[in-house]
Amino acid sequence: MKLHSRLIDAATHAGLLLFALFLVFPLIWMIGTSFKPTTEIYSGVVSVIPEAPSLDHYRTIFQEQSIFTSMLNSFYVGIASTVIAILIALPGSYALARYSTRWNKIILGWVLGSQIFPVILVMIPLYILLRSMMLTDSLLGLTLVYVVWALPFVLWMLQGYVHSIPVEIEEAASIDGASRMQVIFRIVAPLLLPAVGASVLFAFVSAWNEFFFALVLMKDPGLMTVQVELARFTGMEGQARTGPLAAASVLATVPSVILFGFLQKWFSSGLLAGAVKN
C-alpha cells in the first residue's frame, strides 16, 4: 500500500513538473531569444541558450522606443485602476452578499451581462463620452476605463468569496460588541485577503495587458502604454523584429511577475479552517 501511494505521489509530482515546464517554456524561450543575435535567430537552429549572447536587442529597444516611459504609464494606470476597482468592489461585494434585496439578482445579472459586449462595440461611444469630459489622451481617462472594465469581474469574484465566509463569525464579533464597521474592517477584510489578492492580480494584469483602449484613446506618443509599444516591433504579413520584441516582452513581464511574488502569500488557504464548529 505504501509503495502504491508513493508511486502515485511520484507520478503526480512528475506530472506537475511537466505541466510547470510546459507553462514556463515560452518564457524561457523568450528570454533566450532576447539574448540571441539576429543572425542566430534566423539561423533556425533550435536552442534555448544563445550561442553568442548579446545585449544588442536591449540596447535597440532603449535607443529606439520609449520603453521605460511606456512601462511607467502602464504601471501607473495599472496600479491606479486596480486600487480604485478594489476600493469600490470591497464594500459593493459585501453589500451584495450580505444584504439580500430584489435588486441583487438584477445587479449581478447586469455585471455578468456587461462582460459580453465586444470592445469594438463600445469604443466609439466611449471615445465621444470621454472626449466630452476632456479625458481622451489622458492617463486618468484610461484609468477610469480600466476601472470600469475590471470592476464587474472583481465584484463578482469578491461577492462570491464574501458568501463563503460564515456569517456566524460576524455574529460572534457582534456579540462581543463590535460595530458593523469593525466587523467589516477587522473581521471580514482580513479573511478576504486571498480573494483580494486574486482580484488585484486580475485587475492589474488586465490593465497591464490591455491594448485596444490604449491604442485608440491615447494619441500623444508620450502617453503610450507598454502593449502599444510592444506592437511596434511587429510588421506586415506576420513579420516581427523578433529579437527586440523578445527583449521588450521580457521587460514587460517583470512587473506582473514581481506583483505575483508579493501577492503569493495572500493566496495561502486555510484562513477559515476551524473558524466555526459545524
Partner 1 sequence: MNPARRIGVVSVVAIVLVTAAYVIGSRQNSGEPVHARLRFVSLAWQERALAVNRAIVAEWNAAHPEMPVEYVQGTWNSVHDYLITSFETGDVPDVFHYESSVIIDFAMRGFLTDLGPMIDAEMKDDILDVAWASVRQPDGSVAGVPFLMESLIGLYNADYMSRAGIVSPTLNDPWSWDDLRDAAKRMTLDTSGDGTIDRWGAAIGLRNCANIMMNLSIGFGGSFFRKENDRYVVRVGDEERKLLTTIYDMIHKDRSTSPTSIGQSGPAMIPGFFQGKYAMMVGIGAWSRQQLVENAPKGFHWGVIPPILAKTQEAGTSAQTLSIPVASKRKSEAMAFIRFMLSRENMARLAQSDWMLPARRSCLETPEFRDPATGWDITTASAKFLTTGTWMGAPGYVEWKSRVANPVFQEYFSGRLSIDEVAVRIEEESNTVLGRYQERAR
Q: Which stretch binds partner 1 (CB under 8 A): 94-102, 159-167, 211-219, 246-254?
A: 211-219
- Binding string, 103-132, against partner 1, x = CB under 8 A? -----------------x--xx--xx--x-
Residue selected from 232, 256, 260, 263 as contacting partner 1 according to rule CB under 8 A: 232
Kindly state the cell numbers that stand for 176. Answer: 462581543
Using CB under 8 A as the binding rule, the residues of this chain from 54 to 83 that contact partner 1 are 60, 64, 76-77, 79-80, 83
Q: Which is nearer to partner 1, 137 or 253 (CB)?
A: 137
Length of the chain: 278
Asked if 1 interacts with partner 1 (CB under 8 A), we say: no
Residue selected from 54, 114, 138, 256 as contacting partner 1 according to rule CB under 8 A: 138
Residue selected from 71, 197, 233, 250 as contacting partner 1 according to rule CB under 8 A: 233
Q: Which residues bind partner 1 (CB under 8 A)?
A: 38-39, 41-44, 60, 64, 76-77, 79-80, 83-84, 86-87, 90, 120, 123-124, 127-128, 131, 134-143, 185-186, 189-190, 211-212, 215-216, 219-221, 223, 231-239, 241
